[in-house]
Amino acid sequence: MKRRLAALIVAVGSVAGAAALWRRRSGAGKDRVDVYFADGSMVTFAEGSDEAARLFPIARRILSQARS
């Protein structure tokens, strides 16, 4: 009984850990624009923002030109 309980705890912990890791990694890889200014300030435009919608197509054209 105790062995089964321990195995269950290990299995649940592994699944939870894997899910957390997957969430973190997928979050880190999200499309975004980081803009840096001369005064040292920086602003990030995430996917879904107006600025990102304007800048993503330009950057995608650069990527496709560079890799074509």
Task: List phi, psi (to 5°) of 43.
Answer: -130, 140
Least gap, CB of 45 to another protein (angstroms)? 8
DSSP 8: H
Least gap, CB of 4 to another protein (angstroms)? 41
Q: CA-based angle 65:67:68, to the nearest 5?
A: 65
Nearer to another protein, 10 or 43 (CB): 43
Looking at residues 20 to 49 of the shown chain, list those that interact with another protein (rule: CB under 8 A). Answer: 28-39, 41, 43
**Which of 62, 52, 51 is closest to 32 using CA atoms?**
52
Give the footprint of another protein on this chain (CB under 8 A): 28-39, 41, 43, 51, 54-56, 58-63, 65-68
